[in-house]
Amino acid sequence: MKVTFYGAAKAVTGSQHLLEIAGKRILLDCGLSQGRRNDSERLNREYGYEPASLDAVILSHAHIDHSGKLPGLVKNGFKGMIFATGATRDLAAIMLPDSAHIQQADAEYLNKKRLRDGLEPIEPLYDLEDALSAIEKFVSIPYGLSFSIFPGITLRFLEAGHILGSAQVELTIEEKGIKKTLLFTGDLGRFDRPILRDPDLTSRPDFLITESTYGGRNHEAQEKSLLDLEQVIKRTVKRGGKIVIPAFSVGRTQEVLYFLNLLLVAGRLPSIPVYVDSPLSFNATEVFKLHPEVYDKELRDLLYAGHSPFQFPNLHFVQNVSESKAINFAKEPMIIISASGMCENGRIRHHLKNNITDPRATIVLVGFMAQHTLGRKIGERRETVNIFGEPYSVKAEIVDIDGFSAHADSDALMRYFHAVGENVKQVAVVHGEEKSAEALAALIHKDKEVEVIIPALGESVYINGTI
């Protein structure tokens, strides 16, 4: 049994892990990389394996850095099935076409400048037809059901608590009379948070592949995050500026709306319009309503009492480009929530372009920003950042509110490992920048005498033996 790490190795994005087990080739996740434009472009167009050689893909959740390469995989010859939870399938059905649309729109926008500069046009990675072809290959499996996907290979999805439909992937493999259990965390969520259930702690794997996004770091308390959000909104409104919040359309946007609703109901915010500028966010919020089976008790009780945290006065979902442009011409204070979360694609870049030079405005960063992304550069307080290839002076106030992250922090990752690590003999630490991966690896190794691996991109590991 062999695992080869083709993405998210000493990096956060681009999740792709190839399993060669029981005579089958199974890919865990198939995500897009984000970071330096040239490097990401190369990684997103290349495959370290032959797509047509894969027997199946198992998708942990729908975020684009885990799912966004699936249409390209199909375009390049993949013929197998894509296994996911029902909610992940429903989200992917809107996110993958949206990804194709964003790539097409961004390519058209950039090609106008490239044409003026005498440069060759760029092509999107894939188109709408490729995205629809990928969606046709999805097979939905409920949480907790042990399902034989191939002879000798049983799949079980367990709640990960990260976004709607997110799952840990447990594979029980019987090969040559030996039975082993492999567990892939995907992205783990946080314990005791609103909206979603806590991560499931029932698996007892032999081999663990774990994320490490916040290895060695812990989040601030929720109430401090709420207070910070309240204060930044009040002072920005006082000086007449706009509050721009980059947020992933799925998960982060809904959680930010939940907390804004809490503040508004408590009378802690002034009356101010809130614009969610992403058609995907509106559609994703509708998908949330279709899957009450994944809610925690707090959200179920709210909904059954007739109170939706995703609907409140002055909340507007922007549906078309003309509405999006109108926001930028408006002069009054407002909150703009827009994707993508790391500011690499989508309408958020237009809102940043129109507000980042305004000293009255505030950019609120509410999630992790990968290395070399526009979001990371803004978070580093650089004096100038490039947006659509043009330099812009950063005059807006920049505020980090870490407590809204949907990722488990270091303490939560160790709480998880204490529960599931009883039988673990090997651990591969992925989905984290090198410093974070090393911090989590050191904590795991200190806690339990197991082999801990931080694989490099393209590195292969044998279960019960490393090459």
- pLDDT score of 465: 47
C-alpha pair distances (Å), 426 with each of 128, 380, 423: 40, 36, 9
Does residue 10 register a pLDDT over 80? yes
Residues 396, 388 contacting (CB under 8 angstroms): no
Please state, in angstroms and rounded to a whole number, the distance separating the CA atoms of residues 115 and 416.
52
State pLDDT tens for residues 65-95: 999 999 999 999 999 999 999 999 999 999 9
- pLDDT at res. 398: 97
pLDDT, tens digit, 9 for 90 and up, residues 344-391: 877 899 999 999 999 999 999 987 787 888 999 999 999 999 998 899
In eight-state DSSP terms, residue 131 is H
Tens-digit pLDDT profile for residues 269-322: 999 999 999 777 677 777 877 887 888 887 777 777 767 777 788 899 887 888
Q: What is the pTM of this model?
A: 0.86
User: What is the average pLDDT across 411-415?
Assistant: 97
Domains of the chain: residue spans and CATH: 2-217+406-466 (3.60.15.10), 222-404 (3.40.50.10890)
For the chain, helix (H) and strand (E) counts, in that order, are 14, 23
Residues 6+ apart with CB under 8 A from 221: 403
One-letter amino acid for residue 369 of the chain: M
Residues 6+ positions from 49 with CB-CB distance below 8 Å: 4, 6, 18, 25, 27
CA gap 275, 271 in Å, rounded: 13
| pLDDT score for 467 | 36
List, in sequence order, every residue forming a beta bridge with 318; answer none if it has no partner: 277
Over residues 93-104, mean pLDDT: 89
Choose among 430, 435, 407: nearest CA to 5.
430
Query: Helical H runs in 51-178?
Result: 64-67, 70-75, 86-116, 128-135
pLDDT digits (tens, 9 = 90+) for 307-353: 777 778 889 988 788 888 889 888 899 999 998 778 887 789 999 99
Tokens of 73: 């995989």
Question: Hey, what are 374's tokens?
Answer: 């526009």
pLDDT score recorded for residue 57: 98
Q: Are the C-beta atoms of residues 156 and 147 closer than 8 Å to each other? A: yes
